[in-house]
Structures are given as structure tokens and as C-alpha cells.
Structure 1
Amino acid sequence: MRMRIKYAIILFFLVALVIIEKENNIISRVSDKFVLKFPQVEFVGPNNTISARALTENNTVAASSNSALGQLHKAQRNCSMLRTTLGGEERKEVTGRRHLLLMATTRTGSSFVGEFFNQNSNIFYLFEPLWHVEKSVTFEPGGMNAVASSIIYRDMVQQLMLCDLYALESFLFPMPERHVTGILFRRGSSNSLCEGAVCTPPKKGGTQRFPCRVRQCGLLNMTLATQACLQKQHVAMKTVRLRQLEYLRPLVEDLRIDLRIIQLVRDPRAVLASRMVAFPGKYDAWKKWANEGHVPDDEEVGKLRGNCENLRASAQLGIGQPPWLRGRFMLMRYEDIALEPLKRAEEMYRFAGIPITDEVKTWIYENTQASKANDNVYSTHKNSSEQFEKWRLGLPFKIARVVQQVCEPTMRLLGYKLVKDAATLANRSASLLEDRNFRAI
């Protein structure tokens, strides 16, 4: 059975590649870049073909394509059965249902802003559901990397917006047994997965890698979670793994989904400063430059340039409001939210077409007026108006200057002022923000 499931995964990605050919006519170039990180399966792409090898003890293939295809469709049938079972109740709930995607990059305050929707009991909120997809699938370096990853991530978001949580099971290792798992990433960051019927009583021996924070719950039952999603009035999720806005068009045009996209951005200088603290191993070259004067190589600067260019391209597309995206996109700067959290939260709720609740307003007040600074880099509890520019005191000007040189087009588009010297950078009374109304551009 496990082998059949593994081959169902293979067929799933084969379908993804076919989609790439249909939408972009580039499958022949993508297939050579596609690698699975599953411990027992690998893809190879010589001569534009795909083959699979199960790394069992004797390296033999032990599944049929028909059986694999049946496994692939099983999750879809299960979710359809749930919709049928709920019947009129589901149809009533879906009426007026909104779907909200908070799209960001790491260290832009997305966990904090995501809580604005997580705290609304009318919203089924998911925290970084694409984490498991990223851990299971990787792409070799190449020009088609962004295309292939964006399409796979997009299709997963589409299934989750439709409350098909079974779609995630193929990316959980070990695979769930009877739709029950204890390894869903940051389950405790989603109130919807830790409340009501979804919070089953803990059982002896049922260990969890990511337990609920507020209350003790048993292992996560994906069927109960799917039911809870279908019964909620709205669906929202946040992700730092979907960065190509243009590939979300099929979701926007899907008549089953009433999608609103909020792109959260932050000053690239602040993002780099925060990443150097949160991920010291990945940004060791920059830290050495700051501390010892060792200049990062061209590859590191190239990564920064690529990140800024991706951000600029998506933001420019969204701000331009093409017909397919009109009324569906909002750009928000983290700095504006930090300065006026409740005002900006109300703007985002109005854009989403969802009423803001008192519980959300209370959470915002209690979690943005902290009397003492919180040193936890992952904390959502902080004095936001005082903390959002703290990076200016710790980032060396020589690094800030490189960021400005590499990311200047992006910074100018988003309204971040450049600085000419270290004194201006450290002077927090001098604002680095231009007054901008992105929805009016």
C-alpha cells in the first residue's frame, strides 16, 4: 500500500508537468530540472522523459500505474463525499464565502499579520501549509525552477482553498494512517486546527511534532479538519513560498473560489537584517562581512538581486491591476501595519469583504502594545510601533548600501527611501517611508 501511494505521488507530479506544457509549452525544459526529495523515490529526466525507481532493498519496482492512479483520486473522492454528506449545510456556508491568501517572503512580519485572520473564529486559517510541499519537492537550479515550483504550489493552494486537506497527505512523511497525523507543520499556529471537534482528546503514545499551543489535543484527524473547513464561513492562509503572482491567475478565475490576495512587503534592508539574526547559518557570508570585512561573493549578491526582482515583478503586476486581477489584489507594507495596526487590519478586512470581529480588535490591541520588547525573533507579541525599525541600529551601512544598489528599483516602487550615510540610517527620527496609496496607482 505504501508503495502504491508513493507512485501516486509520482503521477501527481507527472500531471503537474503536463499542466506546465499546456500552460507554458515548456515541459521539455522543466522535466530535466525536477527532482523529488522523497527518501525512496527519485525522478530523472534524460531525453525529456520521466522514470521512477523505488529504492527498496533489491531496487525493484513494485506498483502498477492503474493502482497509483486510483490512489491519486482517492483524496478527491473523500472530500467530495464530505461535501455531499454536509449537503445543504455546506451550500449555505459557501454562499458569500471569501478566500484570502496572504502572500509574503520570510521575515516580513507575515506570522504577525496572519494572526489578524487567525483570531477570527469565522475564518478557517492555515499557517504555511506549503512547508511540507517544499520539504518533499526540490528543483535543480535553472530558469524553469520558479515556473515549476509556482505551479505546484498554486495547485496545492487551490485544493486547500476548496477544503481538500487530504491533498496534503501525500507530502507528509511518514504518511498519515487513516488520515491521522502528528507532523503537520506549526499546527498550533492555526486556531482552526486546535478547536472544536478537530481537537480530539489526547491518547497515550500519540506524540506530535507540532502540538497545539493553547490546549492539549490529540493527533490531527484530516477528515475532521476538512469538515471544520467546510463549515467555516471563510478560508484564509498565509505562505512565504508562493512568490510569483502571475501564476495565481487560474485561482483568481476559478469560479469556485472568491479569492483575494494580499501581498505583504517590507524594506529589503530590514528583511536582510532580520534574516541575518534568524538564519545565521544561511547568511553567514553577510555576517562575516559585517563583523570581519569579508565581502560576500557574487552568488550571495545574486540571490539578493533575484529576491528583489521577484518581489518587484509581482508587486508591479498587482499594483497595475490587470483586468483579471482588478479588485482582487492589495499591497501592504509591514511598516504601515506596524505604525497603525488596527487601521490597516480594518482596511484588509474591507478589501477581503469580511467583517472584522471584536476578538480580532482585542488581539491586535493586546499584542501591539507590549510594555517590554520581546527578543524572540518568531514572536507575534511586540510593541509594533517601536520595534519595526529596530534593525536600523544594528545593520552596518556598508551592507545597507549594497542592498540599496541591488534593490533600488524595488525600493523605489514600494516607497522606501534610500540613505546616503550611516548617520541617516541610524537616525530613527528620519522616516524611510514615502507616503503611498498603492491601490490608487
Structure 2
Amino acid sequence: MVYTHSKCKVLFGILVLSIILFLAMAWPRSSDHTISWKHNQPGLIQINAHLNTSKTKKKQSYGLNPDKNRSNATANARTQQGVTKQGTSTKFKRKAVVIFSAMRTGSTFFGEFFNRNPEIYYLFEPLHGLSEMNMANTRKLLLGDLLRCDYRIAPKIYSHGCGGWINCKSNICFAARSQFLLRNSKLCSDTSNKCNEYFDPRKLAKICLQSSYTAIKIVRMNSLGEFEELMTEPNIDLKVIQLVRDPRAVVLSQLKMEHSSNLTEYAENLCTFYHENFLYTKACIMSMYNKSNHENKAYKCNDTVKHLWKGRFLRLSHEYVSEQPVDALRTVEKFVGINHNSEVETWLRKNTHQSTKVIKLNKAGMPQNFFGTSRDSKQVLTKWRKQDFAVIDGIQNVCRSAMTELGYIAINTDAQLGNLSLSTYNFEKLLILPNNFRT
């Protein structure tokens, strides 16, 4: 009896221990962070991260918190793209390219190189409305999210930056310039600047992830240096294309667009932008391409920054794109790493030989296709040379340094201005390609 009683106690103990272990393993584990999507109105969301840790939140402009709180809010989206919680890529990096330029440089037309490619999810000016100087960090925050197809915080940024996500939604479909959305959704089914329904960030993210690449055109970032942080992102394979254009043509076009006569101000702003980015390029990018052995006192880049840019920067000129559009297309395709698309080439050939003899004006007295993508590209190149020499010389006096740095040649007389056989740019200086890059 004693033996049997002891045996029962041992069996009972084993049974109790087994039940405890089973309950411990089966009990649901609470997550440190949970995400909920709440719609206050169509197209707007809130991200609620419930933390079991410290409630202290690092402040960011416009009420955003891109710290631990925000990072976990995007953790699920990044994991779906093959990124672990530690930030290391498990499957792939999101391939992305940014067109970096100033206003009126031909970037709208150049953006069609990407917009017309069915592999690419293209966004036209998503930073519109965020151009104030004190919004630099916000612009980088939004740009990084959009490049990785993460739209969770975009509505909140837009709501503070430009009067609301609803008012800014036309940036996504602006003049029906997101062909990928047109092909793969009904969000931009009309051809106006308005969309037929409010945007749901989750829908945009899902559509974006169906593509192989993200391409974004921006004219509202000031320095190539602003891309350094994005270059270090473990889940973005980013490349940057800087598009430049003759300052004489750009300034005249900007003045016309803004109905302004302040030539000196516009020329100073543009050519300071060109000069500063030239200095950065020379110190931090061209040195990796063995094109600059001179020390640059304005920018001192360490080896880490230089290696970030290796093979990830291309500078093209509007003049090259206009004179040799198909060659420029193949250069871009090779740089980005996309297959040649015959449909894009067909569109390109068709839309670079448009007659400009009949120009229809809108109510504001501007050409109806002022922001269009169809041009007789070679005629556009020389249009600025119809201006008076005094006006052109005024721009040159302000921009002489930037023009020389980029490879643009000054006009010295009225006779030279009218001689269209006289070239005003140097292709060799304008074009910057990675080492061993051949078209």
C-alpha cells in the first residue's frame, strides 16, 4: 500500500507539472506593439502603437514621431518586403530611383521614362506642398516611406503640410501621371486632377508593391546630401538621377510661370542650388569615379559617405535628353537596371517631334501644354535664344560660375545669340556616369 501510495503521488506530480508546462506554452503572448487602423474619414488613418515600455516620445516637427514608436508602426510592412526586425534584408531591397532637379528643367518629360514603363510605380511630385525650409526632415521622412511603398504616415504628414491629405491626393494622379495606378487600379480612372474616390493608404501600398521599382520625381529638395540617410536604409536600393538644364532657359521659364520680372532673384536661387550641389558632387561622388583629385574645402566627405554613392548617381542634362532621347533612355535603363521597353521607346519617339507652330493658350495666357510631356525637343533647346541679349547676359552675369562648372558656354554677343549652329553646352562635362559605365 505504501509503495502504491507513493507511486500515485509521483504520477500525480508529473501530471500537474505537464499541465503547467502545457498552459505556459499555449497561453497567448502579448505583443509589445499592436497596430490599429482607424478611419476618421475616407482616406485618413491613425496609427496607434500601444507601448508597454516608456511613454516618453521624441518630438518631431508636425507632431510626427519617427522613433521607436514609428519604427514599430512600419515593422509589419517592412517584414512583408523581406526585412527582418533587425533591419537586415532577408529577400530583397525595394529598388527605387529619385529624379532630383529644379523646377522647369524638363523633369516632367524626363519622368515619363519611368512612368511609361509597366514595371515601375511612378509618383509625380509627392513632396508638393512641403517646400518650406523647416520641413526638410519631414520631406525625407515622407520620401523614405513612399520609396518603400509605406503609406501609413503619409496622410498625417500631408494633413500638416499642405491642407490635408484630401487636398494633396491629386499629387498621386496629377494630370493622370501615374500610369501604374491607371493600369492597376480605379483610383485614377478619370483624366482630371481629381480622383474619383479618397485614397486608402493600404490600397496604395498594395498597388505599389505589385511593381518592381518605385520612381519619384522631386523638385523640392535642396541638396544631394539629403539622400545620405536614405542611402543607408537597409531595405531600399536607392539610385539618384540629377537632371540639370541651361540656367538661361530655366530662369526664363520660371519667370514666365510665376509672372515675375525679378530675373536676378530667380537666377541667384537657381545657380546657388546648382553650385552647391556641384561642390557636393565633386567632393562626395566624383571622387569615387576618379574624376576629381582636388580637395574641396566646402565639402569634406569621409570614405563612408563616398562609398554610399558608389554606382548610385547619374547626372544627365535636359539637352542630352532632348537631342538624343533614345540614347538617354538606354543610359537610364542601364543605370537603374531595368530591361529595355519597346513601348517606352515608341512613346518617346512619338512625343519628341511634336510641332510647336500652333500654340493654344489657356485663360492665364500660358500654353495649355506648359506642363505637358509632348514637345519638339530640339526646338525647345533653342527657344531661350529668341530673347534679347541684355536679358540673357543678365542671367549669365549671375550664373557664370555655375554655368562653367556644369559645362554651359556663355554667349558674348547678340550675333552669337542668334547663331543657332553655335553650341552652348559641353556634353562631356554635363554627363556624369559611374565608373566603367558604357551605354
Same fold (TM over 0.5): yes
Q: Give percent identity, aligned residues only.
A: 25
Residues 72 and 133 from structure 1, CA distance in 2 versus in 1: closer, same or farther, beyond 3 angstroms?
Answer: farther
Selected match of 1:419 from 391, 411, 419: 411
Equivalences for 1:2-401 in 2 at 5 Å?
14-15=59-60, 77=73, 80-81=75-76, 95=92, 97-134=94-131, 138-139=132-133, 149-173=135-159, 175=164, 183-185=169-171, 187=173, 188-199=176-187, 210-211=193-194, 217-280=196-259, 283-286=260-263, 302-317=268-283, 318-321=285-288, 322-373=306-357, 375=367, 376-394=369-387, 396-401=388-393
Amino acid at match of 2:272: G
- Cα distance between partner residues in 2 of 1:351 and 1:250: 21
For each residue in 1:268-300, what CA deviation from the matched residue of structure 2 results, as whole angstroms up to 9, or x when unmatched? 1110111122221xx2333xxxxxxxxx5xx66
Amino acid at match of 1:258: D
Unmatched segments (≥5 aa) in structure 1: 17-35, 37-64, 140-147, 203-207, 287-295
Q: CA deviation at 1:111?
A: 0.4
The TM-score normalised by the length of structure 1 is 0.69
The TM-score normalised by the length of structure 2 is 0.69
- Cα distance between partner residues in 1 of 2:167 and 2:57: 21
* Segment of structure 1 superposing worse, 149-158 or 359-368: 149-158
Q: CA deviation at 1:113?
A: 0.2
Query: Considering only aligned residues, what root-mean-square deviation do their CA atoms show, in Å?
Result: 3.8
Q: Which has the higher helix share?
A: 1
Residues 126 and 244 from structure 1, CA distance in 2 versus in 1: closer, same or farther, beyond 3 angstroms?
Answer: same
Q: CA deviation at 1:425?
A: 1.6
Residues 300 and 106 from structure 1, CA distance in 2 versus in 1: closer, same or farther, beyond 3 angstroms?
Answer: closer
Amino acid at match of 2:406: L
Q: Which residue of 1 aligns with 2:12?
A: none
SS in 2 for 1:210: coil
Q: CA deviation at 1:133?
A: 2.5
Amino acid at match of 1:382: R
For each residue in 1:216-242, what CA deviation from the matched residue of structure 2 results, as whole angstroms up to 9, or x when unmatched? x43333211110111211111010012
Amino acid at match of 2:261: D
**Contact 2:251–2:266, Cα closer than 8 Å, also in 1:** no
Residues 320 and 198 from structure 1, CA distance in 2 versus in 1: closer, same or farther, beyond 3 angstroms?
Answer: farther
- Cα distance between partner residues in 2 of 1:93 and 1:356: 28
Amino acid at match of 1:316: K
Residues 319 and 160 from structure 1, CA distance in 2 versus in 1: closer, same or farther, beyond 3 angstroms?
Answer: same
Amino acid at match of 1:100: V
**Contact 1:266–1:334, Cα closer than 8 Å, also in 2:** yes
**Contact 2:224–2:280, Cα closer than 8 Å, also in 1:** yes
Amino acid at match of 1:126: L
* Segment of structure 1 superposing worse, 156-165 or 95-104: 95-104
Amino acid at match of 1:152: T
**Contact 1:368–1:383, Cα closer than 8 Å, also in 2:** yes
Amino acid at match of 2:286: I
**Contact 1:165–1:222, Cα closer than 8 Å, also in 2:** yes
Q: CA deviation at 1:338?
A: 0.1
- Cα distance between partner residues in 2 of 1:201 and 1:222: 17
Amino acid at match of 2:177: S
Which structure is larger by alpha-carbon Rg, 1 or 2? 2
